[in-house]
Amino acid sequence: MRAKALAFLHTCYVEEPQYRPVRLGAYKIVYPDGTRERIELIEGWNITDIRSSPGLRHNDWSFARCPDVLIGSRLAWRGQSLTGLPLNLQVLIWKNPYPQKKVKQIIVQANGSDEYTKIALLAVTALN
């Protein structure tokens, strides 16, 4: 597909969410000619733990806003689990630096530093 931008609907699970941004992994965009682009996934900036509760976070007093309202992405959905825990999904819009090229592959890569950290990519939409 060709796209001027890609919209990633995603979330993550972090065993102990922090108040400072933490690198969780990346999306790697691969083009047919072998060109690659990397989109860093930073918890607290463009992706966040699915659980929206500030009480789950270490030093949650530092939030000037709700932990599911980020600077590098948009809140796409807010809801609740069956037990009443607030949940969220984020949309990250990435501007394609090569809109004339087709995107061949998107690779989800976790840093692997924490066995409990999970990245969930639910959907990708091409924006033109």
Output the pLDDT for position 85. 87
What's the pTM value of the predicted model, to 2 decimals? 0.90
pLDDT digits (tens, 9 = 90+) for 83-99: 988 999 999 999 999 99
Least confident of 26-40, 54-68, 94-108, 114-128: 54-68
pLDDT digits (tens, 9 = 90+) for 58-74: 555 555 567 888 999 99
**Which tokens hold the place of 79?**
């809801």
**Which tokens hold the place of 86?**
């607030």
Give dist(CA 116, CA 128) in Å, integer: 36
Output the pLDDT for position 61. 52
Residue 11 has pLDDT above 90, yes or no: yes
The amino acid at residue 42 is: I
Give dist(CA 54, CA 52) in Å, integer: 6
Residue 25 has pLDDT above 80, yes or no: yes
* Cβ neighbour number for residue 9 with a 10 Å cutoff: 17
Read off the DSSP letter of residue 65: S
Output the pLDDT for position 67. 81
* Dihedral angle computed from the Cα positions of residues 54, 58, 61 and 64, in that order, rounded to the nearest 10 degrees: -60
Contact 17, 51 (CB under 8 A): yes
In sequence order, which residues have a C-beta less than 8 Å from that of residue 96 and are 6 or more positions away? 3, 4, 5, 6, 29, 37, 103
Output the pLDDT for position 48. 93
* Dihedral angle computed from the Cα positions of residues 116, 38, 53 and 124, in that order, rounded to the nearest 10 degrees: -100
Q: What is the mean pLDDT of residues 39-58?
A: 85
Percentage of residues in the chain having pLDDT higher than 70? 90
